[in-house]
Amino acid sequence: MKITDFHTHIFPEKIAAAAIASLSKSSGIKNNTDGTVNGLLKSMDIAGITRSVVLPVVTNPKQFTSVNRYAEEINRKFEDRIISFGGIHPLDSDYKQELKTLKESGFKGIKLHPDYQGVNANDISVKRIVYEASALGLIITIHAGKDISFPRMASTAEMLAEVTDEIKPDKFVLAHLGSWGDWQKTIKLLCGKNIWLDISFSLEYIKEDILREIVRLHGADRILFATDSPWSKQSEYVEKASSLFTEDEQKLIMCKNAENLLYGRKDD
């Protein structure tokens, strides 16, 4: 069975060590790879993962060009194994043109992380990005719930439900099962909406009965296998998913849903 990891992170070789060290310190989480593309590929081979989606975060509008230049390079060199989304900052004054540039450059989606970008998920700046990106047919993946590196939450289930209901994006992926650290809110506010939920950085923390309730209520056809590598170990996630989900659920969650979202089809 093919496996797609819908949520991973890498950094350019020259800054990977410093970036990983800083993030590890702020989060208190030990990394499982060195944060480089080669580290990710090695991890994928060990875990038996077919492809990974890389999600870059633009923490300052001025980073748009450099972050996406590297993402384009990754897509050219590793197109059979890695798909990098583009990054954009909600406060980018030229966001409409920047999104068009990403679309024209072949990116399949974008990543937003309100905590790192200094805005709330239901801020008008985020809503505009979600609206325009959706109009262009781009996938939008957004951090959801608490980020353990930050004392406050900028992307709550309430905020994301508001964005979903108001903007009605076509391809909206909420990371970390919709509300990291408070998955009852996913059940109460998000299940059943026109969204996808990825399981990244969640299987170590969520209670099994809550996970099963989310899958039952939201549907296995809207759940995406994801790890948040290098912060979760890909091989362990493959093993956990194999034990937590039924065979039919695994086919959807670990491959078909991602293929459908990325390519508009479901592979066998």
pLDDT in tens, 75-131: 999 999 999 999 999 999 999 999 999 999 999 999 999 999 999 999 999 999 999
| Contact yes or no for 8/54 (Cβ under 8 A) | yes
Q: What confidence tens digit (pLDDT) does each residue in 204-230 have? A: 999 999 999 999 999 999 999 999 999
For residue 268, the model assigns a pLDDT of 43
User: In the predicted model, is pLDDT for residue 266 greater than 90?
Assistant: no
Q: What does the pLDDT average to over 136-153?
A: 96
Architecture of the 4-262 domain: Alpha-Beta Barrel (3.20)
**Which of 265 and 38 is assigned the larger pLDDT?**
38
Mean pLDDT of 118-145: 98
154-166 mean pLDDT: 98
Reported confidence tier of residue 265, pLDDT bands at 50, 70, 90 = low
pLDDT of residue 169: 98
- The predicted structure's pLDDT at residue 267: 45
User: Mean per-residue pLDDT for 48-57?
Assistant: 98
Residues of the chain with pLDDT > 90, as a percent, come to 97
d(CA 256, CA 229): 20
- Alpha carbon distance 226, 241 (integer Å): 10
Instruction: State the amino acid at position 67 in one-letter form.
Output: V
Longest dimension (CA), the chain: 47
pLDDT mean across residues, the chain:
97
Contact 49, 3 (CB under 8 A): yes
Q: Which residues contact 45 (CB under 8 A, 6 or more apart)?
A: none
Over residues 61-79, the mean pLDDT reads: 97
| pLDDT, average across residues 169-175 | 98
